[in-house]
Amino acid sequence: MPVQWSGFSPELLLVIDRDSGEQLRAQLERQIRDAIRTGRLTAGERLPSSRELARGLELSRGLVQECYAQLQAEGYLVARTGSATRVAACANVPAAGAPLAQDRPRLIADFRWGVPDLGSFPLADWLWALREAGRAMPTSAFDYGDPRGSARLREVLAGYLRRVRAAAADPERMVICSGYAQGLALTLDALARHGVRTLAYEDPGAPATTTAAAARAGLSAVPVPVDAHGIDVRALEATDARAVVLTPAHQWPTGVVLAPERRQELIEWAVRRDAVLIEDDYDAEFRYDREPVGAVQGLAADRVVAIGTVSKSLAPALRIGWLLSPPALTAELVRNKQLSDRGSPTLDQLALARLIESGRYDRHLRRMRTTYAARRGALLAALAEHAPGVRVTGLAAGFHAVAHLPGAIGEQALVAAARARGVGLYGMSGCRSTRSTTPTRLLLGFGDVGERAITAGIAAVGDLLASSPQPLP
């Protein structure tokens, strides 16, 4: 879609060389023609008025008008009385060999994981919070400020995390970051400077993200198995890791909760090994039929870096996260953040603080718990009706489920067959360090899928999910 300028005439970068010997009009025509051919100017895009372009290039208006008239005659431009001169609809020629855009098939349901209900983002509340924050924002807040982030947001977040996550949250040891990925990168860089050489991570878990971040920081990464009680601490002990990435409140992707005895074993391991636990507290706000589980950071604040974000509670696009740091790492994390980007956007931080202070954030979370609980119910009902042989786990919290498929159904064939029927399914192989497709497990995300779509999607592929170990069509 072309850029639709309103109000003042849009600018266009053109260079006139008066010493080249080429006529000025010929230069202007050539440059505009090339801009259209190469896609710098797209079909329907508005050009500057002849008066404005002439003034900017120090040319006569008549010369620019003659140039526009010539390009209209050649079919590059169109102009109507009372309207701006624009690039003609058929003027752009695709580059040689460039692939043609293809329409993506419309899916009945797309069970992709890790995405909240984007349509339920509280836009009115967010705009209200932005206005309120901007109205009260002092002039000094427009400066670079503290690389740790807004003192106001850190204070508000610390209170919220103490209240809701039982965290030992100190605003002075909190760093605001741009989401989980940056938080992990800052942490691993700091650990590498403190002599850590090996990072452990849960298996299954997020091997691609974790190993890439570890490699960037110069660390090696080793997988450690997860069972029904969480990460296997004995297996962790057998590695040479001095840091481990964990999702204790709702293990990604199995959904198990780290057992109390495992929490104590982990802390003891960290003390013996002089190690650090990196706690990814990614969707603990959404629980349904279990008691709340506090953050591990609250048990050992000097051994845990806790990373939180609003990517699941509000929306990934906000790119707001935070680090709760042990005292020994705080200075290094602040330094890394300052070198990385000099700090996250202040107005957005103040808006989030206002959203939390006003109670609108809590209200949004209560509403979303109800929404996700209803979708969870729709998913279970649809599976019970159309694929009763499929066992489902990991549903006590969050907005994804793990489907355990019977027999020897192949993951790749199943995903392909479902896609052919207009349903997006995703296997667990991408979460395994070995990328193994067996045993066959599906991750059914229902955060951004409505109840009707969930029911229709499962109905469309129910026979595939519950089929015997026969080749799929």
Fold of 1-100: Arc Repressor Mutant, subunit A (1.10.10)
Which tokens belong to 28?
Answer: 């202007």
Give the phi and the psi of residue 245 in degrees, each rounded to 5: -95, 130
**Peptide bond before residue 248 is cis, with ω within 30 degrees of 0:** no
pLDDT in tens, 454-465: 999 999 999 999
**Which fold, 109-117+363-465?**
Aspartate Aminotransferase, domain 1 (3.90.1150)
Q: Which of 212, 226, 184 minimizes the C-alpha distance to 428?
A: 226
CATH code of 123-358, in short, is 3.40.640.10
Quote the pLDDT of residue 83.
76
Q: What is the mean pLDDT of residues 424-453?
A: 95
Question: pLDDT averaged over the chain?
Answer: 91
| 172: DSSP letter | G
pLDDT, tens only, 244-285: 999 999 999 999 999 999 999 999 999 999 999 999 988 777
The 10s digit of each residue's pLDDT in 81-111 is 777 899 998 766 554 444 544 555 689 999 9
Q: Where are the domains of the chain?
A: 1-100, 109-117+363-465, 123-358
Phi/psi for 118 (5° steps) reads -65, -30
Predicted pLDDT at 408 = 65
pTM score, whole prediction? 0.85
If 0-12 CB within 10 Å is exposed, 13-18 middle and 19+ buried, where does residue 340 land? middle
- What is the distance, to the nearest Å, from the Cα of residue 58 to the centroid of all Cα atoms in its chain? 47
pLDDT tens digits, one per residue of 278-310: 999 887 778 776 677 899 999 999 999 999 999
Q: Are 175 and 325 in contact (CB under 8 A)?
A: yes
